[in-house]
């Protein structure tokens, strides 16, 4: 049975809501999930990660993700981790989805394997962020069946 650790970076709650919707859809597919709203590296036991994060301020990580990112930065080798990232941002900012981009790059630099290109959701778009994420989810599920 597959386990996915869902790591949430949310300042105002939108990324948290998207993560919850993805969690429900994954569980409907028979995948075991754990949702980490205050992520700490020691609490994340399975090597398959889905990071759902917004960008805050001038391209910063949300406050609840700062300690986790600091912990990741101190790691030497994360080559046992496979991950995907969903970023939620606003294209009217120059720093659109910087938290998601920076998180992906940090994980890659530490040896983790990115399963799919980041899903970048623009909150100014017509679709609700959770609908866009749910439309993307089959791509992740397909990738997971290929990597088993």
Residue 126 has what pLDDT?
A: 80
Q: What is the rounded distance in angstroms from the CA atom of residue 75 to the CA atom of residue 61?
A: 18
List, in sequence order, every residue forming a beta bridge with 34; answer none if it has no partner: 5
* Residue 109, token pair as written in the block: 């630099």
Tell me which residue of 145, 75, 72, 74 sits closest to 115, measured CA to CA: 145
The model's pTM is: 0.96
Structural domains present in the chain: 3-142 (3.40.50.360)
pLDDT tens digits along 48-88: 999 999 998 888 999 999 999 999 999 999 999 999 999 99
- Cβ atoms < 10 Å from Cβ of 84: 23
Helix ranges, the chain (H):
14-28, 66-73, 98-109, 129-147
Calculate the dihedral angle through the C-alpha atoms of 87, 93, 95, 101, rounding to the nearest 10 degrees: 20
Residue 9 has what pLDDT?
A: 96
More confident residue, 13 or 20: 20
């Amino acid at each position: 049975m597959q386990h996915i650790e869902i790591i949430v970076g949310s300042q105002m709650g939108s990324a948290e809501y998207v993560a919850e919707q993805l969690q429900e859809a994954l569980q409907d597919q028979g995948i075991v999930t754990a949702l980490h709203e205050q992520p700490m590296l020691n609490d994340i036991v399975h090597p398959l990660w889905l990071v759902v994060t917004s960008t805050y301020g001038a391209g910063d990580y949300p406050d609840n993700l700062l300690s986790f990112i600091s912990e990741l930065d101190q790691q030497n080798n994360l080559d046992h981790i496979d991950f995907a990232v969903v970023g939620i941002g606003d294209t009217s900012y120059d720093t659109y989805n910087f938290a998601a981009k920076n998180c992906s790059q940090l994980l890659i630099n530490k040896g983790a394997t990115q399963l799919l290109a980041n899903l970048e959701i623009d909150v100014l778009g017509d679709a609700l962020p959770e609908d866009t994420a749910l439309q993307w989810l089959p791509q992740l599920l397909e990738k997971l069946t290929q990597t088993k």
